[in-house]
Structure 1
Amino acid sequence: MSTPHIDADPGDFAPAVLMPGDPRRAQLIAEALFDEPRLVNDVRGILGYTGTIGGQPISVMASGMGCPSITIYATELYRFFGVRRIIRVGTAGAMQEALQLGDVIAASAAHTDSAMAQARIPGVSMSHAPSFNLLLAAVEAAATAEVKMQVGPIFSSDHFYVSRPETAAALIAHGTLAVEMESAALYAVAAAERAEALTLLTVTDHLGRGERMTPKQREDCFLDMSTVAIAAALSR
């Protein structure tokens, strides 16, 4: 069965899907961590793979950038391909001083400036939250793997280059850990489709200190985070 954005057959996707933004990261995860990965989608260059880990089926597919893009792909996966869990595995810019490059964040809430949130339920400011079961499983998996993880709210912004110091300061004052561009939309789709979602993020930049990972550091820590995501995705 095909949708406007995914060309796959029924059963091509596992019930649990990891979702990085970058198609090349989807390929990296599949080739490095899955057993016998096979390509199941490449429409518009958005790569999707399905394989197994420990005999359990698992998939990975890119989301592209921003709330509109992840909304399209998550909706189609949940609604038409039998997917019940999506874990976004992405990168973020740290906002809190205590965060260090390489730290992993589990987003317990996702604030947003996206108008998509306001359009979903007119007159209501939605609370964008993950699946508690997935969040708990990720926290437990990180502890077992000795991966440093912070749990807290993040900010899903529609803007990458716009500078808004007052907005950033207010978010920091209210405990926001980091900024990225997709999680609020993913959480909203999961709620609408009565499915599960979680975001795990690796801190690759620090907005306050101007620190930034090298491409090699990004790749290495991304795989570490993905192993935690896989454990959560395959949990009962």
Structure 2
Amino acid sequence: MIQPHIHVDSQQIAERVIVCGDPARAARIASWCEGGEHLSTNREFSVYSAWFQGVKVTICSTGIGAPSMLIALEELKQCGATHIIRVGSAGALQNHVGLGELIIAEGAVRDDGGSLSYLPQSYPAVADLALTMRLLDVAGKLKAAHHLGLVRSHDSFYTDEEMQICQFWHQRGILAADMETSALLAVGRYRGLKVASVLNNVVLYEQDVQQGIAQFNQAEADMMQGEKLSALIALEALVSF
């Protein structure tokens, strides 16, 4: 059966899946694999099939935020996905996290609304340990600058209290913020999937958000290298599982 949002069926989806926010990033990740084939595009969801080190993988964009991430997660699961890694971008909440450096999420603060529609806030958002260890092993092998720890996922970075919110979580050791990881980890666990997240830092801590995103969109070399490294690390971790 064709899924209503991602517009693919179970014959087209691999067990091992990369998800990312940006449809253009999904296309780039597919180009770094072998035999990349575009399967569908509908709204924010662009889906590709490819092979990496002889193993079939799926790459699916999810747009911005938890709700569309969870639509993709549910429909990918319906199509037979068992292992999902998010390859995303994040803004640092600690001064020692540089541009283009990677954050491998052990878990996430659940300040997103999407996962709360499934599960109470007390339910943890924790990555699969074995899959996370694979990410760490591959990051070390590729000599990628990376950090392991907790991230925070939220629904807007334009709130009136954004600076105070960032300072609050900075003081509590949270490494970075994105908008999707907590939903993937919490609901993915709830649905019985193996899930993990590796994020490319695109905004320095206390840097203006719009300035940081503008730099990313201009494809600055260190951040684009971080994007490629995060994708290759996730792909190798998936196929070696």
Q: What do residues 140-195 of structure 1 show as CA deviations (whole Å, max 9, x unaligned)?
A: 00000000110011110111211423322221111100111001111122112101
- How many Å apart are 1:47 and its aligned residue? 1.1
Q: SS of 1:115's equivalent? A: coil
| Aligned partner of residue 107 in structure 2, secondary structure | strand
SS in 1 for 2:89: strand
Any residues of structure 2 matched to 1:131-150 within 5 Å, and which?
Answer: 131-150=128-147
Match of 2:83 among 82, 85, 100: 85
Contact 2:3–2:9 (8 Å) recurs in 1: no
* Structure 2 Cα separation of the partners of residues 48 and 87 of structure 1: 15
Correspondence list, 1:29-40, <5 A: 29-31=29-31, 33-40=32-39
Runs in 1 of length 4+ with deviation above 6 angstroms? none
Q: Which residue number in structure 1 is paired with residue 112 of structure 2?
A: 114
Task: Name the structure 1 match of 2:219.
Answer: 216
In the TM superposition, what is the alpha-carbon distance from 1:209 to its structure 2 partner? 4.0
Matched, 1:128 2:131: no
Correspondences of 1:195-234 after superposition (within 5 Å): 195-210=193-208, 212=212, 213-214=215-216, 215-217=218-220, 218-234=223-239
TM-score (norm 1): 0.93
CA contact (8 A) 1:117 1:125 kept: no
**Relative to structure 2, which stretch is displaced further, 217-226 or 129-138?**
217-226
Can you give the 5+ residue segments of structure 2 that lack an aligned partner in the other structure? none
What value does the CA root-mean-square deviation take over the aligned residues? Answer: 1.6
Over residues 2-34 of structure 1, what are the superposed CA-to-partner deviations in whole Å (9 max), with x where a residue is unaligned?
Answer: 122122232211111111101111011112x11
Equivalence for 1:174: 172
Residue segments in structure 1 that go unaligned for 5+ positions in a row: none
Between the two proteins, what is the percent identity of the paired residues?
27
TM-score scaled by length of structure 2: 0.91
SS of aligned partner of 1:5 = coil
Whole-Å separation in 1 of the counterparts to 2:198 and 2:172: 20
Q: 2:66 aligns to what?
A: 67
Alpha-carbon distance in structure 1 between the residues aligned to 2:152 and 2:113? 14
Q: Which residue of 1 aligns with 2:240?
A: 235
Deviation at 1:98, TM superposition (A): 1.0
- Secondary structure (helix, strand or coil) at the match of 2:98 reads coil
1:45 deviates by: 4.9
Asked whether 1:21 is paired with 2:26, we answer no
Quick one: which amino acid aligns to residue 117 of structure 2? A
Cα distance between partner residues in 2 of 1:27 and 1:126: 34
User: What is the aligned partner in structure 1 of residue 45 from structure 2?
Assistant: 46
**What letter matches 1:225 in structure 2?**
S
144-153 vs 44-53, which moves further = 44-53
Q: CA deviation at 1:46?
A: 1.8
Distance 1:130 1:202, change over 3 A: same
Count how many residue pairs are aligned between Structure 1 and Structure 2. 233
SS in 1 for 2:109: strand
- For the structure 1 residues 105 and 45, does the alpha-carbon distance in structure 2 shift closer, same or farther, using more than 3 Å as the test? closer
